[in-house]
Chain A
């Protein structure tokens, strides 16, 4: 099976620090990592390749330093990696990003399966997967928590997956080619293999860098210029409430709290 895995380099938002004076994000020292859900997508891709044969190509769009996540992808078992990097790509919204990725995928051509993380932790939009699927005019399944079977030999040529729903899950048969967005329940990603990591670092050859001209897009179609949405402003959220610190013995603070709740304008106040 020919598999393409889309990966993204993101700042590790779990330990973000804000400047106490300005409230701005402190970017210095902010660690860059592979987006957590994308690790699960890569693991799924490599595992399918090991079982059915074929190849895995990891694709990322980002600044030159995003090559790090592709090196990691090679270490985990990707056969090739392609970085889409060009000043013209910067400032892209999900429309322009998904367009850029889909043009690269069209250039790669042979694919049965496209895998990506359900969402990236820096934007949390979960839009890239479905939008790439739509540019390519192929089927999609999101929130995939299990890949049940791949039936590529019969006339159906389909893959059966389990998708997580709010109240359970559903089993869906998808025509190949298909794009799947992966949630962390699917698997446990492997650690990069040291030998593969070293060969990925040494012979840079398997990691190619493609720019706008390489994938045949005009600069006005990508990046900020090609985007449909634009950021008007950013600000640090401010949540102010009247705060009261309840002090005293355990008994006192609890009875004070119950008093406050009895006097509150809530549906339970009369029941206390």
Chain B
């Protein structure tokens, strides 16, 4: 399988270069030329319809008939019999997708004793809830959950399956996708239905958030994606004629191959930055522990939470669970106050969705200012104490 260029027909329009997702074509003089990066995907052939200057020996892969694949499913994640918020957010997105497709929204939930959670799933848009209860499902274990979901998917043939990009989801989703023989797109920030082919278009950041890629799963079903908590919005809405479908499974302990010996909670309560409406975050420009004590005072005054960049976590000043960004959390508070943060994409990937962004930095060229609603060029060590002073005194004195 190769792609080649008929040089006489190429007029150097560069349309092929624009559509190539892999930088597989470059200009050599006035003529396009295929590079080593070409994966023979054929996108350029489509783009060169006018001149027919690109040819290949690739046979188009037939798209199977998926008319029996119906329904937008959300895997409802629960931990200690509490629903993960991301699952309700996904049900919000699922309603939109289902509407565009003319299909139904369903949730699936597994655990030992989780039937009391079904009502909440109905209330957030799930018309059908697939309920699987078994002692072996008390704690999350990859193979046990994968076996159950595989069985459900093969029986009921959904079109789309969404899961949260949580620690659990990122462990389970790839295993499920392999098992049911389909593709999976991780950490999507945007999901839409393409109006022509009715495919799910899944957009995700790559290369540390420097590039966005839109991905589709054309040849297999279900179309699977994971989405980070905080990216989508929950939409409470109870459908008519809700249904609960109990699914029986027979899990053998020896097939599961892992045993949970114990779970140890390490987190202090009340510091979940993804739940906070105000987040005060600090980076390189904040003066160590002393500086963060100051930021904590500010966040307390605003009724918010303290967060940080990766560097601060690596220095051990704050724990990993308050780190925002590519390798930390994605949050969308109402107000995000970035103090001494330059705004590298690795960080901004985790906070771009905030409603208002305030940036305080002494470098006027810092990229964070491009994202901010309100920018203050100045020293964090002067601005923040003044901020604290004015808030405590109830206005400028």
> Which residues of A come within 8 Å of B, CB atoms?
11, 13-14, 16, 18, 24-25, 27, 63, 90-91, 93-95, 98, 121-131, 133-135, 138-143, 160, 164-175, 178, 219, 223-225, 227-237, 239, 241-246, 250-251, 253-255, 257-258, 260-261, 264, 266-268, 271-272
Contact = CB atoms under 8 A, between A and B. Distances in A.
B167 interface: yes
A209 B342 CA distance: 43
Interface in B110-141: 139
B206 to A, nearest CB: 6
Interface residues of B, number: 96
B377 A245 contact: yes
Contact of B178 (A126, A134, A253): A134
Interface in B352-397: 352, 355-358, 369-378, 382-383, 386-387, 390-391, 395-396
A160 B375 contact: no
A152 B204 CA distance: 42
A233 B263 CA distance: 42
Interface of B: 1, 19, 21-23, 36-37, 39-41, 61, 79, 139, 142-143, 146, 166-167, 170-175, 177-179, 181-187, 201, 205-220, 257-267, 277-278, 302-303, 321, 326, 334-335, 345-346, 348, 352, 355-358, 369-378, 382-383, 386-387, 390-391, 395-396
A162 to B, nearest CB: 9
B337 to A, nearest CB: 9
Contacts of A13: 207-208, 210, 346
Chain B binding surface, main DSSP class? mixed
A258 B391 contact: yes
A91 B41 contact: yes
A266 B356 contact: yes
A121 B325 CA distance: 13
The 3 residue pairs across chains A and B that have the minimum distance between CB atoms = A91-B39, A228-B183, A229-B183
A129 B42 CA distance: 29
Given A224-B40, A227-B183, A230-B216, A142 B171 contact: yes
B40 to A, nearest CB: 6
Contact of B174 (A127, A143, A272): A127
B259 A168 contact: no
A91 B20 CA distance: 12
Contact of B184 (A127, A139, A260): A127
A168 B320 CA distance: 11
Contacts of B177: 95, 127, 131
B170 A229 contact: no
A94 B332 CA distance: 29
Given A91-B40, A126-B186, A142-B170, A254 B383 contact: yes
